[in-house]
Structure 1
Amino acid sequence: MEMLNEQELHRLAMNIVGKQLESDGFEFLGVNSKLGVNPQFVCLRNKKLHFIVVKAVLYPDNPVKYDLSFMETIREHALKFKARTYYAGVGIANAEDYEKPVIRGEKYIINYDGIQEID
């Protein structure tokens, strides 16, 4: 019984967000799945540049809440490129028992409400 590590949880969150972005018509210019490198997605949609920060959030933390000062730093960077900034928090929990860790090969629950624009 092996828990998913931080990088694996991050990749899982990125896959969920990436599929949503793709279905919403975003064109990927850059994707970075390394922990600590932001933004994870640099995309074009309607000829506008978008920076999207993805974060895997374990239960009981709220995936919609984000670090305001951190996201403000990303937004300031994006403005230099005339890009819009978004946060995508993906909640992940063990499907059998939310209090237990997410285990490799076992079912999990996702709590994801889409990207939130930071303005």
Structure 2
Amino acid sequence: MEILSEQELHNLAMNIVGKDLENRGFEFLAVNSQLKKDPQFVCLKNKKLHFVVVKAVKYPDNPKKYDATFMETVKEHALKFKARTYYAGVGIADAEDYEKPVLKGRNYIVNYDGIQEIV
């Protein structure tokens, strides 16, 4: 079986976060699913602009932990547009053995607690 690539894991995380944002009433203005092109989502909610950075995180890394220096850079960029900045870490692991890579066609487990605002 084939291991999911970094881009495929990222796309999976994007889908999970995208559905969450949609359910929360966010309107998408721009979506960028390319790796290392941040933010992934530029959204509108209550007439306010929101930048959302999405990261797929492999086990055993903590999906809630983010690179503060990097997120500060994104936040500075967002402030130029009077936008709020969010981080969305999505933990993805093989359902049967967390230590194994995620394979195409196999079940996986998701660890996602929603978006975290960077203040």
* 2:16 is the alignment partner of 1:16: yes
Runs of 4+ in 1 over 4 A off after TM superposition: none
Amino acid at match of 1:94: D
Aligned residues: 119
Q: Distance in 2 between matches of 1:63 and 1:115?
A: 11
TM-score scaled by length of structure 1: 1.00
TM-score scaled by length of structure 2: 1.00
2:50 alignment counterpart: 50
> Tell me, which stretches of 5 or more residues in structure 2 are unaligned?
none
Q: Distance in 1 between matches of 2:44 and 2:68?
A: 24
Q: Distance in 2 between matches of 1:100 and 1:116?
A: 28
Mapping for residues 1-119 of structure 1, pairs under 5 Å = 1-119=1-119
Q: Distance in 2 between matches of 1:43 and 1:50?
A: 5
RMSD of Structure 2 on Structure 1 (CA):
0.2
Q: Distance in 1 between matches of 2:36 and 2:65?
A: 18
Pairwise CA distance, 1:62: 0.1
Amino acid at match of 1:67: D
| Percent identity between the two aligned chains | 78
> Tell me, which stretches of 5 or more residues in structure 1 are unaligned?
none
